[in-house]
Copies of this chain bind each other. A is one copy, B any other.
Amino acid sequence: MARGTTPTRAPGRPRSSVDAEVFAATLSTVHELGYTRATVDRIAAAAGVAKTTIYRRWPSKGALITACLVDAFGPLPLKEGDSRAEIMATAIRYAAAKIGEPGIAAAFAGVFTDAIGDPGLREILSTQLQDPYRTVLQDALDEPEHRVLFFIDVVIGTLLHRMGMTGEPMVPTDVDALVEMILRELG
């Protein structure tokens, strides 16, 4: 019964594996031009695929960018045996590093904006991007849901606001201050 990942191979031409190229092209295009001017046409051209291929895989530009963010963030690099404070500090520094990577903050802010007034996209954003980290942190920190959500608001919100206002990632000194502040709050 070991069917693996392909229960019974679907008939027809299989999809070519271009997700990695599309995600890379998406981030670099958003980084260069910003969310609004990073059109799907340009992303497709940069990835070397047709625009229709992109729309066959992701239903909208917002969904594409969200998937790109989910792929870019990946799982939290938590070590077994770390204390709550160590876990929190690791998570904050990981978030700061990721949001400082080219294109990430611009993509995040853009999908955020589109999500307001588009409940479907907000659902995707909350479910696919935030929830995985929330549940992992609830478990690792042994904190209730509303506390973890508060921490996420503070950390991600602060980092995004800095990137949006200045266009530059938060400097290490300020990331340190953020870590210290959250650790005091964690208790």
Interface on A for B, CB 8 Å cutoff? Answer: 33-37, 105-106, 109-110, 112-119, 122, 125-126, 130, 146, 150, 152-154, 156-162, 164-165, 167, 170, 174, 177-178, 181, 184-185
Contact = CB atoms under 8 A, between A and B. Distances in A.
Contacts of A181: 154, 181, 184-185
20 contacts: A34-B113, A34-B114, A34-B117, A34-B118, A36-B113, A36-B114, A36-B118, A109-B116, A152-B161, A153-B170, A153-B174, A154-B158, A154-B181, A157-B162, A160-B161, A177-B185, A181-B184, A181-B185, A184-B184, A184-B185
Contacts of A110: 113, 116
Contacts of A116: 34-35, 105-106, 109-110, 164, 167
- Ranked nearest first, the 6 interchain pairs of A and B with the lowest CB-CB distance are A34-B117, A157-B161, A157-B157, A113-B113, A157-B158, A106-B116
A109 B113 contact: yes
A46 to B, nearest CB: 16
